[in-house]
Amino acid sequence: MWSSRMALRRLQRIAVAPLSAAGGATTKVQREMSTLQRVYVTRQIPPEGLKILQDSGQVQFELWNSDDVPVPRKELLQKVKGVDGLLCVLTEKIDAELLDAAGPNLKVVSTMSVGYDHLFLQELKKRGVRVGYTPDVLTDAVAELTVALLLATSRRLIEATHEAKTGGWGTWRTLWLCGHELANSTVGILGLGRIGVAIAERLAPFKVKKFIYTDVAPRPDLAKAINAEYVSFDELAKQSDFLAVCCALTPETREICNENLFSKMKKTSIFINTSRGGVVNQEDLYQALASGQIAGAGLDVTVPEPLPTNHPLFSLNNCVILPHIASASYTTRNAMSALAANNLLLGLRGQPMIKELKL
């Protein structure tokens, strides 16, 4: 597993070697192309990725020069006309309409994300467009944030901060702001991949008693690393004191976390989601939290994003909501942008990408 720092250094070296390499490689590439290949970048990506594109000598690119506001759909459909490559982020829907607007020149879509539910894979496959994505490099950052969110939720840190700021902090009380601790607990993981393993590795020193998981099938190699036991979906719900959702959003997992799951969980359970908002039925989650069916929830992802400020979940003291920041470290986001840029350039050259989604 790559750490984000090691990955960034490696990706910087890769960018220098095959893409703007010594020995005139760039000159050769440019000789082979009558003009530089055209690329559209849908967001102001972190500087390492932009530097790789600029230094490659392989492409001319235009980007939506904002990090705050996504490119408007109407403008995106105009800008992609005739491009050879597209570097996007998860806010852009790469669907049939966009692919039709881009036209037959489009060879590669490189997304700066590990999730790909914003990509219409069948449409891309039908058109023979290759897809790059950015797994692994964000594992550490997402695992760290998941642990932070779990602790903030279970130990009621947001509530406590609010009380301290607003005058609620009175004399010491025996049960005021009591939460739930990890020692001797059972931690469940829904969807055991690299991120799930990394979360468990970070939680183990808290004296967790047992790790359990469920997935589409047992994953003994990954489970062995954390001594985790494979259980059914129902058993995951029943046994978990802390339940971390790490699965991808697919048709099978959409709203898999619903009343059926919450009704089987302990009243003292903490639910954490740092995967995709679409795996949770938010109305069912609200009811579970408001009724005390479960003790608390920590969410880094919601539907929609951003979640409207008047959404009922924001009214609950036992729900901590973050604005999708799990991978938001400088090192990780730069590594993601570097990987996305390298995937794009290698794909445009007809070479194997570092991380390609096989369609």
- The answer to whether residue 11 sits within a structural domain is yes
Query: Does residue 324 carry a catalytic annotation?
Result: yes
- Pair (117, 218) in one structural domain: no
Which residues, including other chains, have CB under 8 Å from residue 261's CB and lie 6 or more apart?
Answer: 233, 237
Do residues 272 and 244 lie in contact, with contact meaning Cβ atoms separated by under 8 Å? yes
Higher-pLDDT residue of 1, 140: 140
- Pair (33, 90) in one structural domain: yes
Which domain does 351 fall in, by range?
4-17+29-137+330-357
Calpha distance 174→159 (Å, rounded): 17
- Pair (294, 340) in one structural domain: no
* Closest by CA position to 276, among listed 93, 111, 68, 114: 114
Mean pLDDT of the chain: 93
Do residues 299 and 319 lie in contact, with contact meaning Cβ atoms separated by under 8 Å? yes
- The answer to whether residue 50 sits within a structural domain is yes
- Pair (162, 283) in one structural domain: yes
pLDDT for residue 32: 52
- Pair (9, 115) in one structural domain: yes
Total number of domains in the chain: 2
Give the pLDDT confidence of 53-100 residue by residue, as tens digits.
999 999 999 999 999 999 999 999 999 999 999 999 999 999 999 999
- Pair (348, 296) in one structural domain: no
Q: What CATH number corresponds to the domain at position 278? A: 3.40.50.720
Give the pLDDT confidence of 191-220 residue by residue, as tens digits.
999 999 999 999 999 999 999 999 999 999
Do residues 234 and 264 lie in contact, with contact meaning Cβ atoms separated by under 8 Å? yes
DSSP assignments along 63-76, one per residue? E---SSSPPPHHHH
- The answer to whether residue 55 sits within a structural domain is yes
- Pair (303, 200) in one structural domain: yes
- The answer to whether residue 148 sits within a structural domain is no
Beta strand spans in the chain (E): 37-41, 59-63, 85-88, 108-111, 130-132, 186-190, 210-214, 228-230, 242-245, 270-273, 296-299, 319-321, 356-357
- The answer to whether residue 47 sits within a structural domain is yes
- Pair (211, 275) in one structural domain: yes
- Pair (72, 118) in one structural domain: yes
Stated pTM of the model: 0.88
